[in-house]
Amino acid sequence: MRIDRMLGITIILLGREKVTARELAQRFEVSVRTIYRDLDAIQQAGIPVVCLSGSGGGYSLMENYTVDRRLLNFKDMAAILSALRGVRNIASTLDGSPGLLESTFEKISSLVPQDKAQEMEQHLERLVIDYLPWDTSPKQTAQFRMISQSIANNELLTLTYRNLRGTTNTRVIEPMTLLFKGYTWYLFAYCRMQNDFRIFRLSRILKLEATGQPFQRREGSYRSIWDSYQPASPPVKLVLAFAPEARSRAEEYFGVDELSDYSDGRLLAQVSWPEDEWVYTFLLSFGEHIEVLEPPHIRKLLCDKAAQIYNVHKNK
């Protein structure tokens, strides 16, 4: 992570009289050009980096310079630490140890004045960001770690995947990026079966194997797919009426401001969603506490599904 590397470079410059760009590149396992960009960014942030020319040259900080805690105020540090604490939990799950993010967390924490330490801890208890699901199983943890390590080492993965339509196949992929969006984990990768970039939902990966075979990372970003994503099914406008018994759950999904009072005491919601199996399952999950007012074909579809459920259970 670049912010961690830049902070590490600053710490090194604070503790040493001078250091060369090549030393820093070897220390952080990046190119010298990347170090030049980091040093330029550090300068732009207001930290006076001095370039010493000549055979014994290198980089150092201006004499008598120390990091001014006022560069980050209390709210800045609280926001950074809250975010890092959540991401640190993921790093521990992915790598098996907190690693660099733990070091970054400690470095930022050290900037908090001693007389503000207790106040900071209280502040962090008010806002907790945790991206991990409640029920992370050992299998999921192993899956996370395998993907994370394969991305870091540029190693091919073989996965057996079942898509939304229920089609299952095995393919070789070049893992690029782990993504967390909408309470769900995704993997952006180059698929050698499709000869193109794809995004895979981790919950649909049935089997995952590390091949140990290296690949050359391609130019490409998940944003190219994410920004142009179009739902497979066209959207359908739904008008839903929720019984008072389902008020709390309806408010959780739609928010209080998106619901209106219906004439008979029920709550009304109007949404436009891509029509797929998830929508049907979501509506059925409310049981008798929901009525689909529009469109008519969704009403009929739910009636048919309810009849099928009845037929499955009536003789049991």
Q: pLDDT tens, position by position, for the chain (316 residues)?
A: 566 677 778 777 776 778 888 888 888 888 888 888 888 888 887 788 888 877 777 888 776 665 554 556 677 777 777 767 766 666 565 555 545 566 667 666 766 777 777 887 877 777 666 666 655 567 777 888 899 889 889 999 999 998 877 789 999 999 998 887 766 788 999 999 999 999 998 888 889 999 999 999 998 888 877 766 666 677 889 999 999 998 888 888 887 778 888 888 899 999 888 888 888 988 999 999 999 999 999 999 999 999 998 888 887 6
Longest dimension (CA), the chain: 90
- Taking the C-alpha atoms of residue 59 and residue 302, their distance in angstroms, rounded to an integer, is 69
CA distance 187 to 198: 8
DSSP 264: T
Domains and CATH numbers, the chain: 2-67 (1.10.10.10), 70-126 (no CATH), 138-226 (2.30.30.520), 235-313 (3.30.70)
Report d(CA 124, CA 8) in Å as an integer: 24
Determine which helix (DSSP H) or strand (DSSP E) holds 250, and give its type and residue range: helix 247-254
What radius of gyration, in Å, describes the C-alpha atoms of the chain? 26
**CA 272, 275, 277: angle at the middle one, nearest 5?**
135
Within 10 angstroms of residue 45's Cβ, the number of other Cβ atoms is 11
Is there a contact between 59 and 49 (Cβ–Cβ < 8 Å)? yes
Tell me the CA end-to-end span of the chain in Å, nearest whole number. Answer: 57
Cα torsion 109, 87, 127, 75: sign: positive
> Which is it for the CA torsion 188, 235, 269, 203, positive or negative?
negative
Q: Coil, strand or helix: which one is 9?
A: helix
Q: Is the pTM of this model over 0.85?
A: no
Q: Quick one: how far is CA 107 from the chain centroid?
A: 23
Instruction: Tell how strand 155-162 and strand 168-181 pair up.
Output: antiparallel
Q: How far is CA 177 from the centre of its chain?
A: 10
**Nearest-angstrom CA–CA distance, 10 and 38:** 10
